[in-house]
């Protein structure tokens, strides 16, 4: 009741070079608890063209039109009884200017008919903006086996759903299926999802309605003839293809990926090279950067992606990703580096992350950079302090999120949280005149359990 979730760690910012919203994972403990019981077997999209959908996306609860909405009260019931699993959620949100108070509800039931078959249904009601009495009703099924052709894994899912109450005209239904063959040496997948132009799950995440979305991939992971190399377990070769078209069949986006060579080690290290060809059809100009707009038109560009990750068992790990090639009539380079360090017998952990985008286009050039630091020190198993700092040059915003967490006893926690964010462009601040938003929160979380 009347929670602000102030103890939750801040979101990690992302650089967005697409026309569509990015996905941010849920971090609030109330919504994470039993999250798998609300999972729907339908709508995934394993490509990176901002496709797919999630019919119940818990981050829509407490947010509306980009603003935080107070949660007056909420309740959740989750559990299993024999072969039946269920998750029921009901939340009442308060009002803010432009968004009246409203009620949001979710109900998910799934039944394991056999060791191989599961059938389920999902129902959501409500609109976070309180504009309409929107609903989503969906049904899904999943089948899997580990004895295909003797000892191989094979799985399939299918779904169908309908939305109502959003006052949109057009096709309100969606459906899809996925067939997956995930095995040690060979894996492949084929997927199709169709979303009507008026298909609008208001409590879900759907970046691209009114589309048909296709995805397929084939991968081969042969082992070397002799395992004399202690760090090489498998080679990797493969291809994948993504395509998103409108309901009339016009291709909006597509991407073909070829993996001519890759390696995976016993300790989690890997080195992969991917060659890509991407197509984008822009019906309207696209503002890729505050200072650069890409005009409407059809664009095809070739590129590459190089990934290298060091062994995960080490106290020091590195991850490098380098993307380059053509980009909307010009060229772009996108590189990222992540460094993890664990010390003092695991009491101290540090993460440093950097991403940079350098683009030279006919309409102009731009540079975007993102820095992040996340450090945690544990004085004891019950007392720790963590700090998350990030700076994004595209918005010129700097933010700190520091949390002291003391586990007093089982299900009893004390949090002291300090947030500081520069509310305007950091580089344009007048010297000696700070423009910051400071918040200090002390929270005692006391859970009761029989």
Binning pLDDT at 50, 70 and 90, where does residue 192 land? very high
Proportion of the chain above pLDDT 70, given as a percent: 96
pLDDT at 231: 76
46 φ, ψ (degrees, to nearest 5): -85, 0
Q: d(Cα 104, Cα 69) in Å, to the nearest integer?
A: 13
Binning pLDDT at 50, 70 and 90, where does residue 425 land? low
59 φ, ψ (degrees, to nearest 5): -70, -10
pLDDT at 227: 65
**What number of H helices and E strands is found in the chain?**
1, 26
Q: d(Cα 443, Cα 450) in Å, to the nearest integer?
A: 23
Q: pLDDT tens-digit profile of 255-266?
A: 999 999 999 988
For residue 217, count other CB atoms closer than 10 A to its CB. Answer: 19
pLDDT at 432 over 60: no
pLDDT at 130 over 90: no
Q: pLDDT tens-digit profile of 377-415?
A: 999 999 999 999 999 988 788 889 999 999 998 888 999
Q: pLDDT tens-digit profile of 41-56?
A: 987 777 778 888 999 9
Between 201 and 447, residue with greater pLDDT: 201
Q: How many CA atoms lie within 13 A of 311 on its CB side?
A: 10
Binning pLDDT at 50, 70 and 90, where does residue 230 land? low
Residue among 250, 249, 182, 245 at smallest CA distance from 214: 245
pLDDT at 343: 92
pLDDT at 423: 62
pLDDT at 431 over 60: no
Q: pLDDT tens-digit profile of 331-358?
A: 999 999 999 999 998 899 999 999 999 9
pLDDT at 387: 95
- Tokens 């801040």 belong to 10
Question: What integer best gives the mean pLDDT of the chain?
Answer: 91
pLDDT at 422: 78
pLDDT at 428: 63
For residue 445, count other CB atoms closer than 10 A to its CB. Answer: 15
pLDDT at 446 over 90: no
Could you write out the three-class secondary structure of 214-225? EEEEEEECCCCC
Q: pLDDT tens-digit profile of 277-288?
A: 999 999 999 999
Q: d(Cα 77, Cα 105) in Å, to the nearest integer?
A: 12
pLDDT at 335: 95
Q: d(Cα 23, Cα 322) in Å, to the nearest integer?
A: 22
pTM summary value: 0.89
So where are the chain's domains? 1-157
Mean pLDDT over 136-147 rounds to 96
Mean pLDDT over 165-184 rounds to 92
Binning pLDDT at 50, 70 and 90, where does residue 63 land? confident
Q: pLDDT tens-digit profile of 379-388?
A: 999 999 999 9
pLDDT at 92: 95
Mean pLDDT over 199-215 rounds to 94
Between 210 and 29, residue with greater pLDDT: 210
Mean pLDDT over 177-195 rounds to 95
């Amino acid at each position: 009741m009347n929670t602000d979730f102030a103890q939750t760690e801040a979101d990690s910012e992302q650089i967005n070079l697409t026309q569509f919203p990015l996905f941010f994972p849920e971090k609030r403990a109330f919504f994470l608890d039993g999250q798998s019981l609300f999972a729907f077997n339908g709508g995934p999209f394993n490509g990176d063209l901002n496709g797919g959908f999630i019919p119940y996306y818990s981050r829509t609860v407490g947010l509306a039109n980009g603003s935080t909405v107070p949660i007056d009260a909420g309740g959740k019931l989750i559990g299993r009884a024999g072969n039946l699993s269920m998750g029921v959620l009901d939340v009442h949100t308060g009002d803010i200017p432009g968004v009246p108070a409203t009620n949001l509800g979710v109900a998910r039931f799934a039944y394991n008919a056999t060791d191989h078959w599961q059938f389920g249904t999902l129902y959501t009601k409500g609109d976070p903006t309180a504009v309409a009495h929107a609903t989503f009703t969906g049904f899904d099924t999943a089948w899997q086996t580990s004895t295909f052709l003797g000892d191989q894994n094979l799985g399939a899912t299918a779904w169908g759903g309908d939305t109502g109450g959003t006052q949109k005209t057009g096709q309100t239904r969606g459906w899809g299926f996925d067939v997956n063959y995930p095995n040690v040496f060979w894996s492949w997948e084929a997927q199709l999802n169709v979303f009507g132009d008026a298909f609008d799950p208001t409590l879900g995440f759907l970046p691209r309605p009114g589309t048909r979305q296709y995805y397929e991939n084939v991968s081969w992971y042969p082992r070397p003839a002799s395992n004399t190399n202690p760090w090489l377990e498998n080679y990797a070769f493969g291809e994948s293809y993504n395509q998103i078209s409108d309901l009339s069949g016009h291709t909006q986006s597509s991407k073909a990926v070829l993996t001519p060579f890759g390696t995976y080690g016993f300790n989690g290290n890997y080195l992969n090279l991917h060659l890509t060809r991407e197509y984008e059809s822009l019906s309207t100009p696209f503002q890729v950067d505050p200072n650069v707009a890409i005009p409407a038109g059809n664009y095809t560009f070739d590129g590459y992606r190089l990934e290298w990750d060091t062994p995960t068992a080490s106290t020091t790990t590195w991850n490098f990703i380098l993307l380059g090639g053509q980009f909307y009539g010009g060229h772009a380079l996108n590189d990222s580096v992540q460094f993890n360090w664990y010390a003092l017998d695991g009491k101290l952990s540090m993460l440093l992350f950097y991403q940079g985008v350098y683009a030279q286009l006919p309409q102009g050039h731009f540079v975007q950079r993102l820095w992040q630091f996340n450090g945690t020190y544990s004085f004891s198993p019950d007392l720790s302090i963590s700090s998350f700092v990030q700076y994004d040059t595209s918005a010129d915003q700097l933010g700190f999120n520091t949390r002291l967490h003391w586990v007093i006893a089982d299900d009893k926690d004390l949090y002291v949280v300090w947030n500081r964010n520069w509310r305007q462009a950091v580089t344009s601040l007048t010297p000696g005149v700070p423009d910051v938003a400071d918040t200090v929160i002390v929270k005692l979380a006391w859970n009761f359990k029989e």
